[in-house]
Amino acid sequence: KQWYQRRVRGAMGVVTFGSIMYYIEEDQPGSEFNSILKACWWAVVTMSTVGYGDLYPTSVPGKLVGSVVVFLSMVFMALPMTIIVSKFSRAYEEMKEPNQMVGAALEDPQGSQLSINGKPDVETGHDKLHPPGRNSTAL
């Protein structure tokens, strides 16, 4: 439900700011904003902070609206990414901790690390999970 609401709000922002930019820039000489769809494309590119440079406002009011769009897109799109990245980082660290315990449990008495994937060890040439002389089920 939250995902849907964000998409609706984003679409409303694109249409709103695209329409505003079109009506500000439509009569400016040399302006590329000759349709609302082009202005909506500008809003998508600007709000996603990509900024291709294919469309840009030429009038002072258009530049002010563009600045507002960039600021609002950073507040509503880019700043939440820091929250997402920090939560991802925390989850990744929590995920690594159980794997470290598994790695410690898979050490043999000589202290060498056992192969988790069952591939042969480069030094000895045999599988450390099932070394010669051991019962393969007795791990």
What is the rounded distance in angstroms from the CA atom of residue 46 to the CA atom of residue 53?
Answer: 9
Residue with tokens 């002389």: 133
Neighbours of 137 (CB within 10 A): 6
Q: Are 57 and 21 in contact (CB under 8 A)?
A: yes
Answer yes or no: pTM beyond 0.85.
Answer: no
What is the rounded distance in angstroms from the CA atom of residue 10 to the CA atom of residue 85?
Answer: 21
- pLDDT string in tens for the chain (139-residue length): 777 887 888 888 889 999 999 999 988 888 889 899 999 999 999 888 777 878 889 999 999 999 999 898 888 777 777 888 888 888 888 887 765 555 555 555 555 554 555 555 555 555 555 555 555 454 4
| 41-to-16, 71, 78 alpha-carbon distances in Å | 12, 17, 19
What is the rounded distance in angstroms from the CA atom of residue 123 to the CA atom of residue 114?
Answer: 12
What is the rounded distance in angstroms from the CA atom of residue 43 to the CA atom of residue 65?
Answer: 10
